[in-house]
Amino acid sequence: DAGVTQSPTHLIKTRGQQVTLRCSPKSGHDTVSWYQQALGQGPQFIFQYYEEEERQRGNFPDRFSGHQFPNYSSELNVNALLLGDSALYLCASSYELVRTDTQYFGPGTRLTVL
Partner 1 sequence: GQQLNQSPQSMFIQEGEDVSMNCTSSSIFNTWLWYKQEPGEGPVLLIALYKAGELTSNGRLTAQFGITRKDSFLNISASIPSDVGIYFCAGQGNDMRFGAGTRLTVKP
Residues making contact with partner 1 (CB under 8 A)? 4, 33, 40-45, 48, 56, 58, 90, 92, 100-108
**Identity of residue 24:** S
Pick between residue 4 and residue 78 the one whose CB is nearest to partner 1: 4
Shortest CB 51 distance to partner 1, Å: 18
Nearest CA among 3, 65, 79, 1 for reference residue 34: 65
Q: Which is nearer to partner 1, 17 or 57 (CB)?
A: 57
Question: Coil, strand or helix: which one is 98?
Answer: helix
**Cβ closest to partner 1, residue 15 vs residue 57:** 57
Shortest Å, Cβ 16 to partner 1? 25
Task: Provide, rounded to whole angstroms, the least separation between the CB of residue 42 and partner 1.
Answer: 3
Pairing of strands 44-50, 104-105: unpaired
For residue 8, is the peptide bond before it cis, meaning its omega torsion is within 30 degrees of 0?
A: yes
Minimum CB separation from partner 1 for residue 24, in Å?
13
Q: Which one, 16 or 107, has the nearer CB to partner 1?
A: 107
The CA-atom distances, in angstroms, between 68 and each of 26, 32, 99 are: 14, 8, 18
